[in-house]
Amino acid sequence: MVKQASSSPSSPVTITVSSGGKGGPIRSMGLTSPVPRSSVSNNPNSPLSGRGNRGSSGGRRTSAGGRYDEEVVSSEYVTYTVHIPPTPDHNTVSASQTSLNEDDKNFGKPERSFISGTIFTGGFNSVTRGHVMECSMERKETMKSGMQCGMKGCDEKAMQGKSSRGPCECGFKICRECYLDCIGNGGGHCPGCKEPYKDVSDDDGSSYDDACSEAEDQALPLPSMADFKLDKRLSLVKSFKAPNQDFDHTRWLYETKGTYGYGNAVWPKDEYGFGSGVNGFEHPPDFGGKTRRPLTRKVVVSAAILSPYRLLVVIRLVALGFFLTWRIRNPNREAMWLWGMSITCELWFALSWLLDQLPKLCPVNRVTDLSVLKDRFESPNLRNPKGRSDLPGMDVFVSTADPEKEPPLVTANTILSILAVDYPVEKVACYLSDDGGSLLTFEALAETASLARTWVPFCRKHGIEPRNPEAYFGQKRDFLKNKVRLDFVRERRRVKREYDEFKVRINSLPESIRRRSDAYNAHEELRAKKKQMEMGGNLSEPIKVPKATWMADGSHWPGTWSSAEADHSRGDHAGIIQAMLAPPNAEPVFGAEADGENLIDSTEVDTRLPMLVYVSREKRPGYDHNKKAGAMNALVRTSAIMSNGPFILNLDCDHYIYNSLALREGMCFMLDRGGDRICYVQFPQRFEGIDPNDRYANHNTVFFDVSMRALDGLQGPMYVGTGCIFRRTALYGFSPPRATEHHGWFGRRKMKLFLRKPKVVKKEEEEMALPIIDHNDDDADIESLLLPKRFGNSNSLAASIPVAEFQGRLLQDLQGKGHHGRPAGSLAVPREPLDAATVAEAISVISSFYEDKTEWGKRVGWIYGSVTEDVVTGYRMHNRGWRSIYCVTKRDAFRGTAPINLTDRLHQVLRWATGSVEIFFSRNNALFASRRMKFLQRVAYFNVGMYPFTSLFLIVYCFLPAVSLFTGQFIVQTLNVTFLVFLLMITLTLCFLAILEIKWSGINLHEWWRNEQFWLIGGTSAHPAAVMQGLLKVIAGVDISFTLTSKSATPDDGDDEFADLYVVKWSFLMVPPITIMMVNMIAIAVGVSRTMYSTFPQWSKLVGGVFFSLWVLCHLYPFAKGLMGRRGKVPTIVFVWSGLISIIVSLLWVYISPPSGRQDYMKFQFP
């Protein structure tokens, strides 16, 4: 007999059926809340209701909720073990102890006392239900005496009326004083059942039972027992065949903890502490008050900051207009070529500034309320009496491609932070995409899964933050702060030791794999030679034995080998899927006390772990695998079959979860009113391991805290490649349920669109599968016959689409009339088990040829054709009418690493800029955006494709001061008052705008200045190269390839944390900035010499040229500092040589072009 005990008194009736004979089949059935379950097979609200079991490759899947195959039980009798939850009429003594003890004593014997009063119903493809008629369990009475008041702290005699039940039909005993207090201060509600008293007069309560028989005389809405007068002890379970019947409150009351309503008779404030009301308690709050509160709130930037900011933008725009007009009307007749180049550059800079500034006019901030999320989705209610989590599932994607550039230890820490996230365990599934097919990554992930069994319970028990062990143990702050458990120090020491051993094992994996493979390969060579001898072959002939990579179990690794043999190279290997951690149980599983095997005491901690899957897609020669975008799409298909979470979190391997509540913060936006129009929630990127001065603007705070916040006030921020929660249906290419088209000038005229056909519903609404239908040519109707063409020929993948759409809907009470929503509690059911047929189906969808003749990468999933697939993917979603949200949490949601080396940083910027040029020359240019995109959002996306071209004008403008000093001319004929006033106004408005941006974004002046400096560094190095590469690709079809950005591993003890900052790696991208610096320094020397030796020195032109040259050099200072390497390591002779060369060149220029009137001083003759 198999025994399955309830984990808590509120757990459902659990029935374990096993044959009385030996080795008989086992069938598990469970009773859940009396509402239809949102499983694929037995929930009438499910999109696949009536379609039969969802199978894969012809296999049948068994549901944990009670579906089972019909079996013939050959035993003589069947034993049942029924654990009945405590109810108002049946309060068992310590249900968690008595029931378990009795079960252990009578293991293997039929319990007739449990089955005698229960009617079991059920059948094929339905959940077995138990109707409890009578309970013969002996129990001890723990309640007060029947004649005493039931209020806490009161021992007065209870009131007596016409019957002995008390003033309320629930039978709650209460004295007269407490009764009057409840009527006066408690709103006239009974403390026991929370229902209003039938009579609230101040007499002796003689009229309270006038309506007692009203409820008893009514027939409860049971289809099979409609005319039967129900006994109050009968536990009724609503038949799934009649989902439209009303919910029976009495039945729900009976099957829950024993009280109806919000808490006990006196309820502490916010469920945790004591309030300030009578006797230290608050009155019971409104049950639905919190759940109706919004999950999110928009915080508009203060008008005292935003209004002057917008005014300054207008003033600067007007000043630029007058300045450029004046410049055009007043050319420099003495140097028209210089004037022409300068005015062209200035016109482009004005346009570039305008494109960058316009989307910043509407910045917003947003906050979430996690307490409301918990009350709405994880608290007991009518449809979810157990209080199971009703949150949607979340699939987390982590991508890696090369274990040499992306160390396995970094990836392992990211995985551990995901497994320990504060989100329902059964709703999380983590997928690691290893695009290199490396055995090192595979075995490192297996080690990570082993460590997670200790690390995750430790984090949950002690509230560890962050839940990345490397980051946590590397913190320099006091780790004892706010820790109150006495066993924390001891357990932390043990876990730290275990993690150190884990790091050693990870570091030793490459050598271990090499030695193992060498040993097996040597053994294979000996076997081959022995076989050659047995066959009588020539021993002198060499035997070719492939140098394979071997797994620990003595089998060939199906992925990439170190020898790169056929079918085992980086671009030619089979697809691999391995579930490292199986899907967890639906009920919490508590651990054991600390012993030799368990490092920590986890008796009070849920030790379940989320599902963890290793995925390496198939790669074959002749197929374009589309780099990271192709790997992400493979994960989308795999996860759809294995877990099918309606929401997807995408992370890079070096970006870990720094805030364990980050997923809940993002889901607040997805599940709030209007959240069905949100395609993704983007979090800002925060970085660690960056030098304190942030020499190369690695934090990029101006973009993440200024530009992205401003875009959030429009249609939403861009997708930046990591730290983003997607709606799965949006990734599938579907349009939102509602959209707005913008017509007229600047999109001022709006037109609402309802892109999904409303269903004709009855008065009693039925939730059906919502078809995703569009009405315009771009978004064609999606029918079942078109699904294979769009998504491929996997039936399981096609069947998962409506399920994901249904699970991602808002709750019904948040939707307006006529809109589709899901019923509350529909996701509070166990996940279907994972079987071999499902994994086999998942293998088929990651094959190299699966995407042929489909729309993957064109409309579905991550979009192909650009090295910046993230921006294009987000643009396509916004173009369909979706909106996105920017979620800035108080504690950083995610943290990662960034390249602090100058060369690596320039190559990273080069990749981004090249992707922008590709966007500009493609159909993803915002000029071709649909009318569903807002005007300012379109401007922002257009600027994404335009900004690299600014570098061409920027390089010219950086040389103009030097040319001016060499020639003695300037961009204007004279530095008159008008030019200086315009220049002063433009500069001051820029400074004030920067100050106000700092005020509403929260950045500091140092970060703003670093961003300005690197804008010029990147604009004179990486951006021009990106423009050239983009033009070559468009014109000549030259493909663009980039190498992975190396992820920095944790430095060893004693090593400099910022050692990479001082490493000088030569790159062709450094040539333009070095040339600009040298030319400007020489020009300053030449200009000063020319002016000093001139008969009529023109100091105004010298000052103008020197000012702009110094402006260029100040911006390039971090670049020059990076070229010098480590401070103090550059020999002094280098500076001597540099100064000497500059002086010689300056003197040569003065000799070649001597100042007029002083020729005699410049004559030179050899002796």
The full DSSP string for 327-379 is HHHS--TT-HHHHHHHHHHHHHHHHHHHHHHGGGSS-EEEEE-HHHHHHHHSS
- Cα maximum dimension of the chain: 137
Question: Which has more pLDDT, 757 or 292?
Answer: 292
The tokens describing 868, both together, are: 């910046």
Predicted confidence band at 1154 (pLDDT cuts at 50, 70, 90)?
low
Count the alpha carbons within 13 Å of 324 in the hemisphere toward its beta carbon.
15
The pLDDT score that the predictor gives to residue 939 is 94
1039 part of the active site: no
Predicted confidence band at 509 (pLDDT cuts at 50, 70, 90)?
very high
Q: What is the CA radius of gyration of the chain?
A: 36
Average pLDDT over residues 363-390: 87
Question: Which has more pLDDT, 285 or 847?
Answer: 847
The tokens describing 271, both together, are: 């469920």
Predicted confidence band at 1107 (pLDDT cuts at 50, 70, 90)?
confident
- At residue 976, does pLDDT exceed 90? no
The pLDDT score that the predictor gives to residue 973 is 81
The tokens describing 953, both together, are: 């004008």
Beta-bridge mates of residue 579: 613
The pLDDT score that the predictor gives to residue 953 is 94
The pLDDT score that the predictor gives to residue 359 is 93
Angle, alpha carbons 110-113-114 (nearest 5°): 80
Strand arrangement of the beta sheet that strand 686-688 belongs to: 656-657, 894-897, 686-688
Angle, alpha carbons 787-855-578 (nearest 5°): 85
Separate counts of helices (H) and strands (E) for the chain: 31, 20
- At residue 288, does pLDDT exceed 70? no
Beta-bridge mates of residue 743: 749
Average pLDDT over residues 144-149: 61
Q: What is the 3 state secondary structure string of 740-785? A: EEEECHHHCEEEEEECCCCCCCCCCCCCCCCCCCCCCCCCCCCCHH
* High-pLDDT (> 90) share of the chain, %: 37
Count the alpha carbons within 13 Å of 599 in the hemisphere toward its beta carbon.
22
Predicted confidence band at 492 (pLDDT cuts at 50, 70, 90)?
very high
- At residue 828, does pLDDT exceed 80? yes
Least confident segment among 73-82, 557-566, 756-765, 789-798: 73-82
The pLDDT score that the predictor gives to residue 920 is 93
Predicted confidence band at 384 (pLDDT cuts at 50, 70, 90)?
confident
Predicted confidence band at 815 (pLDDT cuts at 50, 70, 90)?
low
Compute the distance between CA of residue 525 and CA of residue 545 in angstroms, rounded to an integer: 6
Average pLDDT over residues 913-933: 91
Average pLDDT over residues 245-265: 46
Average pLDDT over residues 25-39: 34
Contact in structure between 650 and 395 (CB atoms under 8 Å): no
How far is residue 637 from each of residues 60, 91, 544, 793, 850, measured CA to CA in Å? Answer: 20, 49, 39, 12, 10
Compute the distance between CA of residue 642 and CA of residue 583 in angstroms, rounded to an integer: 10
DSSP state of 707: I
- State the chain's mean pLDDT as an integer: 75
The pLDDT score that the predictor gives to residue 70 is 37
Contact in structure between 459 and 453 (CB atoms under 8 Å): no
Compute the distance between CA of residue 130 and CA of residue 899 in angstroms, rounded to an integer: 62
Beta-bridge mates of residue 754: 738
Q: Which of 491, 493, 501, 518 is nearest to 409 (CA)?
A: 501
- At residue 39, does pLDDT exceed 80? no
Name the burial class of residue 878, with classes exposed (0-12), middle (13-18) and buried (19+) by CB atoms within 10 angstroms of its CB.
buried
The pLDDT score that the predictor gives to residue 94 is 38
Least confident segment among 57-71, 942-956, 1152-1166: 57-71
Residue with tokens 């691999």: 576
Contact in structure between 1058 and 901 (CB atoms under 8 Å): no
The tokens describing 277, both together, are: 């009301």
Predicted confidence band at 9 (pLDDT cuts at 50, 70, 90)?
very low
The pLDDT score that the predictor gives to residue 1145 is 65
Which residues lie below 8 Å from residue 401, measured CB to CB, with a gap of 6+? 434, 435, 436, 628, 631, 1044
Q: What is the pLDDT of residues 88-141, one digit of tens each?
A: 334 443 333 333 344 443 433 333 333 233 322 233 333 333 333 333 333 333
Q: How many residues does the structure list for the chain?
A: 1167
The pLDDT score that the predictor gives to residue 457 is 94
Least confident segment among 272-281, 446-455, 518-527, 1096-1105: 272-281
Average pLDDT over residues 886-896: 94
- At residue 1083, does pLDDT exceed 80? yes
Least confident segment among 94-98, 876-880, 1047-1051: 94-98
The pLDDT score that the predictor gives to residue 740 is 84
Residue with tokens 């089955």: 115
The pLDDT score that the predictor gives to residue 1046 is 64
Average pLDDT over residues 1019-1036: 89
- At residue 1009, does pLDDT exceed 80? yes
Compute the distance between CA of residue 309 and CA of residue 191 in angstroms, rounded to an integer: 56
- At residue 1126, does pLDDT exceed 70? no
Contact in structure between 653 and 885 (CB atoms under 8 Å): no
Predicted confidence band at 1153 (pLDDT cuts at 50, 70, 90)?
low
Predicted confidence band at 221 (pLDDT cuts at 50, 70, 90)?
very low
Compute the distance between CA of residue 263 and CA of residue 284 in angstroms, rounded to an integer: 8
The pLDDT score that the predictor gives to residue 205 is 38
The pLDDT score that the predictor gives to residue 811 is 87
The pLDDT score that the predictor gives to residue 2 is 39
* High-pLDDT (> 70) share of the chain, %: 69
- At residue 237, does pLDDT exceed 60? no
Distance of CA 840 to the CA centre of its chain: 28
Q: What is the pLDDT of residues 549-598, one digit of tens each?
A: 999 888 889 999 988 888 888 888 889 999 999 999 888 999 888 887 78
Contact in structure between 1150 and 1087 (CB atoms under 8 Å): no
Phi-psi region of 612 (alpha: psi -120 to 50; beta: other; left: phi over 0): beta
Which residues lie below 8 Å from residue 30, measured CB to CB, with a gap of 6+? 12, 13, 14, 15, 65, 66, 127
Centre a 10 Å sphere on the Cβ of residue 763 and count the other Cβ atoms it contains. Answer: 5
Average pLDDT over residues 1118-1133: 69
Q: What is the pLDDT of residues 717-755, one digit of tens each?
A: 999 999 999 999 999 999 898 888 888 777 677 777 776
Compute the distance between CA of residue 1104 and CA of residue 844 in angstroms, rounded to an integer: 68
Compute the distance between CA of residue 393 and CA of residue 225 in angstroms, rounded to an integer: 37
Least confident segment among 137-146, 356-365, 672-681: 137-146
Least confident segment among 251-260, 636-645, 1017-1026: 251-260
Average pLDDT over residues 1076-1104: 81
Beta strands 724-727 and 611-616, pairing class: unpaired
- At residue 1130, does pLDDT exceed 60? no
Question: Which has more pLDDT, 2 or 1111?
Answer: 1111
Name the burial class of residue 508, with classes exposed (0-12), middle (13-18) and buried (19+) by CB atoms within 10 angstroms of its CB.
exposed
The pLDDT score that the predictor gives to residue 144 is 44
Q: Is 831 helix (H, G, I), strand (E, B) or coil?
A: coil
Compute the distance between CA of residue 1087 and CA of residue 1065 in angstroms, rounded to an integer: 34
Q: Which of 729, 877, 739 is nearest to 809 (CA)?
A: 729
Angle, alpha carbons 376-286-368 (nearest 5°): 40
Residue with tokens 């654990």: 83
- CA end-to-end span of the chain: 116
- At residue 669, does pLDDT exceed 80? yes
Distance of CA 1079 to the CA centre of its chain: 48
Residue with tokens 């899907």: 583
DSSP state of 1127: T
Which residues lie below 8 Å from residue 203, measured CB to CB, with a gap of 6+? none
Q: Which of 1003, 998, 1011, 1153 is nearest to 1090 (CA)?
A: 1153
Which amino acid appears at position 597 of this protein? E
Distance of CA 1119 to the CA centre of its chain: 35
Give me the phi and psi of 754, to 5 degrees please. -110, 105
286 part of the active site: no
Q: What is the pLDDT of residues 1032-1046, one digit of tens each?
A: 888 877 776 666 666
Q: Which of 864, 860, 423 is nearest to 636 (CA)?
A: 860
Phi-psi region of 61 (alpha: psi -120 to 50; beta: other; left: phi over 0): beta
Q: Which of 209, 248, 434, 435 is catalytic?
A: 435
The tokens describing 282, both together, are: 């608050």
Beta strands 576-581 and 364-368, pairing class: unpaired
- At residue 82, does pLDDT exceed 50? no
The pLDDT score that the predictor gives to residue 1085 is 85
Q: Is 885 helix (H, G, I), strand (E, B) or coil?
A: strand
Residue with tokens 């921020």: 717
Give me the phi and psi of 711, to 5 degrees please. -65, -30
Average pLDDT over residues 236-264: 43
Compute the distance between CA of residue 484 and CA of residue 46 in angstroms, rounded to an integer: 46
- At residue 992, does pLDDT exceed 70? yes
Count the alpha carbons within 13 Å of 68 in the hemisphere toward its beta carbon.
18
Contact in structure between 257 and 10 (CB atoms under 8 Å): yes
- At residue 502, does pLDDT exceed 60? yes
Q: Which of 672, 774, 870, 904 is catalytic?
A: 870
Beta strands 296-300 and 364-368, pairing class: antiparallel
Name the burial class of residue 314, with classes exposed (0-12), middle (13-18) and buried (19+) by CB atoms within 10 angstroms of its CB.
exposed
